[in-house]
Amino acid sequence: MSDVVLVETRGLGKSYPLVFRSRDRLRALWHLLAGRGHPESIAVLQDVNLRVRRGESLGLIGENGAGKSTLLKLLTGVLTPTTGSVAVAGRVGALLELGAGFHPEYTGRDNIALAAALYGLDAQEARAKLPEIIDFADIGRYIDEPVKHYSSGMVVRLGFAIVAALRPDLLITDEVLAVGDESFQKKCVRWMEDYLEHGGTLILVSHSMYHVQKLCRQACWLQQGKVAASGDVFEVTQAYLAYQERKSASQTPARDDIAGQGLEFHLLDLALNDDTTDTPLLLDRGGDARVRVRVHTRDGRAPVIMVGIVRADGTPVYGVSTEMDGVRPLQESENVYSAEIMFPALPLLPGTYLIKAHPLDPEGVRLFDTLERSLTIRGQSREFGLVRLSHSWIAAQTSVLADSIPVDRALSAAS
């Protein structure tokens, strides 16, 4: 990691005057011309201190209106700060508002030439990059159509293709992975991983904690224009997800209230490693996960309890029920049953997952309720997929055993 600082902000802030009526606008203009600012203003960003070195990757997270896009516009020079200072070094590639920087009347090919000129490339260099950009964008005949005819996904494809070909010192993106089809998103992620592996510097704004954790090592959580937390990406995103869980819980009826609405089988709580709060569980790779589920049953019959794990994007990973394994839930009282399952040395690859619990009728046919908790697996891995399988490479003369938990040991621990 280089000691060269590409981005540094000190006490950075941005405010806008309150101008609801025509006379407010005139008064604001007068104050600005007089060099006195405006007495009535709203601060959208306050006292932000950041430092990003060459080769680092920073994720900016927060709710809508937290100030993320405003911060990026200050970093790229689109806006000027009201307070504090911002310094950015190196060649910057920015993907901010959809279509920003493109001339709508020009064709995609013409906009590529324009962008290349703005990045300081001469005509020969631009021509050399053109085939690579067109191939990455993959928008077919539309490359020779005016950009105003493009869909939002096509605009992002072209913008990202230009940045990918020019490989700036610093890449700043705002929700670029939220637009476009899944195959192009995967292409963008693969490019970003290669870009970072070869020393690139990234500032990424995203509402997807999966992408932030996958691409960034540091994170900054903005809340109402101020820095709520900054540091290690897993610790900051964990705090943000916990805040979202608490906020959601405060707006949701209590689980006990739901029991009075007549559900035959109703989940009382879902505990992860003895924690029944809504705080996401943070595990190092290979850690143990213990899941305990308590169910209220209206007529005293023992339910079937199902536990499943899905990735944050909804991809199923694993699911099992008490009925499948021939286990009867423990009866704690006349109308309360519980079951506990242990996942030793959980082989999930680093990322964000959800653990879900469901009660079913005794026949295991009808599902009545759902509770879920967030699970984050920490660590680094270059492997692909969802889980790490025990394996060994068989060479001509040697066999290298992978550093993993053997299946037989995991099964014996589970029993």
Task: Give the ranges where 177-264 is alpha helix by DSSP (H).
Answer: 182-197, 209-215, 233-250, 255-259
Spans in the chain with pLDDT lower than 50:
260, 398-415
User: Which of residues 192, 220, 244 is at a domain's end?
Assistant: 244
Q: Are 93 and 166 in contact (CB under 8 A)?
A: yes
Q: Which amino acid is at 239?
A: A
Q: Does residue 406 belong to any structural domain of this protein?
A: no
302 in the same domain as 375: yes
pLDDT, position 409: 40
pLDDT, position 40: 67
d(CA 355, CA 289): 10
Q: Which amino acid is at 107?
A: T
Three-state DSSP at 201 gives strand
Q: Does residue 403 belong to any structural domain of this protein?
A: no
238 in the same domain as 295: no
Three-state DSSP at 303 gives coil
pLDDT, position 20: 54
Q: How far is CA 290 from the centre of its chain?
A: 25
Q: Does residue 234 belong to any structural domain of this protein?
A: yes
pLDDT, tens digit, 9 for 90 and up, residues 64-75 = 889 998 999 999
104: tokens are 């709508």
d(CA 314, CA 303): 25
Q: Does residue 250 belong to any structural domain of this protein?
A: no
d(CA 362, CA 259): 18
User: Which of residues 244, 277, 295 is at a domain's end?
Assistant: 244
Q: Which amino acid is at 66?
A: A
163 in the same domain as 31: yes
d(CA 291, CA 162): 47
Q: Distance between the two ends of the chain, CA-based, in angstroms?
A: 45
Closest CA to 169 of 130, 198, 189: 198
Phi, psi of 173 (to 5 degrees): -130, 145
Q: Which amino acid is at 45?
A: L
Phi, psi of 14 (to 5 degrees): -140, 130
162 in the same domain as 108: yes
202 in the same domain as 263: no
d(CA 81, CA 83): 5
Q: Does residue 45 belong to any structural domain of this protein?
A: yes
89: tokens are 């070094």
Q: What is the CATH number of the domain that holds 180?
A: 3.40.50.300
Q: Does residue 407 belong to any structural domain of this protein?
A: no
68 in the same domain as 10: yes
User: Which of residues 244, 279, 297 is at a domain's end?
Assistant: 244
d(CA 6, CA 39): 34
pTM of the model: 0.64
Q: Are 57 and 204 in contact (CB under 8 A)?
A: yes
Counting the structural domains of the chain, the total is: 2
Hunting for tokens 């005509």 — which residue is that? Answer: 123
pLDDT, position 248: 67
Task: Give the ranges where 167-200 is alpha helix by DSSP (H).
Answer: 182-197
Q: Which residue range(s) make up the domain with 311?
A: 255-397
pLDDT, position 342: 95
284 in the same domain as 321: yes
pLDDT, tens digit, 9 for 90 and up, residues 197-234 = 999 999 999 888 878 888 899 999 999 999 999 999 88
Q: Name the DSSP letter for residue 224.
A: T
Q: What is the DSSP string of 256-316?
A: HHHHTTT-SEEEEEEEETTB-SSPPEEEETT--EEEEEEEEESSSPPPEEEEEEEETTS-E
d(CA 23, CA 165): 49
pLDDT, position 27: 63
Q: What is the CATH number of the domain that holds 320?
A: 2.70.50.60
Q: Does residue 402 belong to any structural domain of this protein?
A: no
66 in the same domain as 107: yes
d(CA 211, CA 209): 5
Q: Does residue 404 belong to any structural domain of this protein?
A: no
Q: For residues 164, 168, 169 and 171, what is the CA-based torsion angle, rounded to 10 degrees? A: -60
275 in the same domain as 341: yes
97 in the same domain as 164: yes
305 in the same domain as 179: no
25 in the same domain as 171: yes
The H helix count followed by the E strand count for the chain is 10, 20
